[in-house]
A and B are shown apart, each in its own frame.
Chain A
């Protein structure tokens, strides 16, 4: 797969603070890639270095094989869209004027501004000053400006902030449409439940370093967190069932009346299912893979609450 972004041994310091520590990263063309990590993990700094807003202390970043802030980077920038976290506009300009101004700087077709506002549901408010926009409307306008000039690469920092549930669903639908058109999307978000079904690959960051990269499934396999089996029974669990489950000594089992909750390793899943399927009292079995949040806590969180959450699994 063709690489669109290459980050090679990039380090950035703010005085004594090491914000980004010798990062190597490749992002493929046409994928949805997410940077996740705690506040201060270095996501925004890495974002800003990729956009040329900050210069790396050492190392190099290349986008479409052109050095960031290099001689030909201006042309690359024309095809990059960026939605910053907490996007701010000029309050006295209308939505349409905002897009026209930013579009002119980007070299976008002025005629596309109305269509973009329509796409994000702001056509009716197009001529209203931005000062009257709600937070969600500003976020939509931010997304519209990021799409000016038909970008090939989109950087979205906390893109669903301020959007209602319908807006969030609409946003991810739109993101998938863009992916189908070949647009590469890099997003950072704290809402892991939202992004786990949407992203192709993830980079987990902690204290300026990338701990791991891969798809959600690859991360699950790397970390081998326990699966959660939820077993529903027709009748109250009997002692015989307890004895049967006791042979899976590595599993953590909790039996309450008509439900059994089992945490087991991936290896034990099939033998356990085979055993459970022989029981007449089993009504239903649901299997939950570790969520992205579980993986995040497993990899990143060394705080007491994080360790506790991981231990429970």
Chain B
């Protein structure tokens, strides 16, 4: 049995801080197979394939072009799709992970077993993020395969980057949904909060920033504006993709104002990683 035993604070009674990977694996496996069995993975994959094909075909129609155009324009269209769809799917996937168990009454049964709260939380997160990753990779992967006849190796790399960033954005919103699930007192509040969060980050956040810029004629927030974009994982995803696509940079609003100095993979990747780790860490802090 694999065991990691980090240093333990000396207290009157030292608490059990050991982590058993086997327990995490068992919980993760159940969560993943539950999503396979109830056809969640199949349904979400089908949604991705359908919308991705439609958007890839009609994505450039506003420029008077119908059909599969350049890979850059296709990715740009898929970014627009993913930015709406993936956060919503991730939030719906994870909002009841903990509060659902608590409300059903199965949480006590699980925690009475030799499972720590950390193992339960992480196990569930890994299981659900695997299901999400599987759906994104399969859905967009199939579309990528379909498009492969017209793209070269370099474009394939861009497409793979788009898929990877989509997965990371999904994991970030899943992490946020876990925080909601731990904080909410019941499933109704959790689902309402998840939808509100989606509205805020996907629809409202950029409008607020844009509104402030317009109203103050760029005087307020101009300097730290790029950093404000990093406070939204959906914006990080957009920037990650747009800055790699020369052809479409100008098509976007706010993201094009982002300085090139900050638009490097380490800053953006690190920020996305922060959005995965921080909400999950907070969720654990509240859950324990």
Known pairs A89-B106, A101-B26; A106 contacts B15 (CB<8 A): no
In the assembled complex, which residues on chain A have CB atoms less than 8 Å from the CB atom of B108?
48, 51, 53, 82, 84
Determine whether the beta carbon of B105 is less than 8 Å from that of A101: no
B43 CB to nearest chain A CB (Å): 16
Known pairs A53-B108, A71-B8, A92-B37; A105 contacts B114 (CB<8 A): yes
Q: Which of B89-140 contact A (CB under 8 A)?
A: 104-106, 108-116
In the assembled complex, which residues on chain A have CB atoms less than 8 Å from the CB atom of B8?
71
Who on chain B is nearest to A74 by CB? B114
Determine whether the beta carbon of B112 is less than 8 Å from that of A60: no
Bound-state CA distance A33–B113 (Å) is 21
* B-contact bits for A146-178, CB 8 A (1 contact / 0 none): 000000000100000000000000000000000
In the assembled complex, which residues on chain B have CB atoms less than 8 Å from the CB atom of A241?
none
In the assembled complex, which residues on chain A have CB atoms less than 8 Å from the CB atom of B18?
74
Known pairs A88-B104, A88-B105, A92-B34; A105 contacts B113 (CB<8 A): yes
Determine whether the beta carbon of A82 is less than 8 Å from that of B14: no
- Asked if A128 is at the interface of the complex by the 8 Å CB criterion, the answer is no
Who on chain B is nearest to A87 by CB? B109
- Asked if A258 is at the interface of the complex by the 8 Å CB criterion, the answer is no
* B-contact bits for A43-82, CB 8 A (1 contact / 0 none): 0000010011100000010000001011111110110101
Bound-state CA distance A106–B23 (Å) is 9
Q: B27: which of A51, A86, A105 is its contact (CB, 8 Å)?
A: A105
Who on chain B is nearest to A62 by CB? B13
Q: B112: which of A71, A77, A101 is its contact (CB, 8 Å)?
A: A77
Determine whether the beta carbon of A60 is less than 8 Å from that of B13: yes
In the assembled complex, which residues on chain B have CB atoms less than 8 Å from the CB atom of A102?
109, 113
Q: B15: which of A51, A70, A101, A105 is its contact (CB, 8 Å)?
A: A70
Interface size on B, residues (CB 8 A): 27
Known pairs A84-B105, A101-B26; A106 contacts B14 (CB<8 A): no
Bound-state CA distance A105–B1 (Å) is 12
In the assembled complex, which residues on chain A have CB atoms less than 8 Å from the CB atom of B30?
101
- Asked if A193 is at the interface of the complex by the 8 Å CB criterion, the answer is no
Bound-state CA distance A92–B105 (Å) is 16
In the assembled complex, which residues on chain A have CB atoms less than 8 Å from the CB atom of B112?
51-53, 77, 80, 82, 84, 155
Q: B13: which of A67, A74, A86, A107 is its contact (CB, 8 Å)?
A: A67
Determine whether the beta carbon of B34 is less than 8 Å from that of A72: no
* B-contact bits for A83-107, CB 8 A (1 contact / 0 none): 0101111101000000001101111
A287 CB to nearest chain B CB (Å): 43
Known pairs A89-B106, A105-B23; A71 contacts B14 (CB<8 A): yes
* B-contact bits for A261-304, CB 8 A (1 contact / 0 none): 00000000000000000000000000000000000000000000
B116 CB to nearest chain A CB (Å): 8
Determine whether the beta carbon of A105 is less than 8 Å from that of B38: no
Determine whether the beta carbon of A73 is less than 8 Å from that of B113: no
Known pairs A77-B114, A78-B114, A84-B108; A92 contacts B38 (CB<8 A): yes
> Would you give 18 A-B contacts (Cβ < 8 Å), ordered by A?
A53-B112, A70-B14, A70-B15, A71-B8, A71-B13, A71-B14, A71-B15, A74-B16, A74-B18, A75-B114, A77-B112, A80-B112, A86-B105, A87-B105, A88-B104, A90-B106, A92-B38, A107-B114
Q: A51-B108, A51-B112 are in contact. List 13 more A-B contacts (CB 8 A).
A: A48-B108, A52-B112, A53-B108, A71-B15, A71-B16, A74-B114, A74-B116, A77-B112, A78-B114, A92-B34, A101-B26, A102-B109, A105-B113
